[in-house]
């Protein structure tokens, strides 16, 4: 059973395991880079997201970041013939999506539409 999982995830040798680790980390980093390129921080979303138009805009760019990440990491998975870029992408995207949606919920609950004072 363990040998089957090792083969399935491309972990047959020490070099393959190192490569898998690098691919996993790079995919997670790419997701954070994509979010940073097209959207403001969760902190900003929490402070401005009480405005319905700003929240809608934030969500749109969250979806763009998810799409960008999946396109690039799927390409990396195909090129490397490895699932690790997709695994890393999905792990980081779940967190990034959660943190932005939490920030927007908090903004709505508090009515935060911008900086005060």
For residues 7 and 77, the model is more confident at: 77
Is 104 strand, coil or helix? Answer: helix
Given this model, what pLDDT does residue 11 score?
A: 64
Q: How many domains does the chain have?
A: 1
Does any domain span residue 1?
A: no
Does any domain span residue 103?
A: yes
Nearest partner of 88 among 69, 115, 63, 108, judged by Cα:
69
Please write the tens of the pLDDT for every residue from 25-49. Answer: 999 999 999 999 999 999 999 999 9
Does any domain span residue 32?
A: no
Does any domain span residue 104?
A: yes
Domain coverage including residue 84 = 51-109
Helices (H), 1-117: 2-8, 14-38, 42-48, 52-80, 84-110
Q: Which of 12-16, 101-105, 108-112 has the lowest mean pLDDT?
A: 12-16
Given this model, what pLDDT does residue 117 score?
A: 38
Dist CA 94 CA 111 (whole Å): 26
């Amino acid at each position: 059973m363990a040998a089957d999982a090792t083969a399935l995830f491309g972990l047959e040798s020490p070099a393959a395991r190192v490569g898998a680790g690098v691919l996993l980390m790079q995919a997670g980093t790419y997701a954070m880079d994509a979010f940073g390129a097209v959207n403001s921080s969760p902190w900003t979303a929490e402070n401005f997201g009480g405005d319905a138009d700003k929240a809608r805009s934030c969500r749109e760019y969250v979806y763009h970041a998810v799409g960008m990440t999946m396109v690039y990491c799927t390409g990396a998975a195909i090129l490397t013939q490895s699932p690790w870029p997709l695994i890393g992408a999905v792990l980081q995207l779940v967190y990034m999506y959660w943190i932005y949606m939490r920030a927007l919920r908090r903004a709505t609950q508090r009515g935060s539409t911008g900086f005060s004072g």
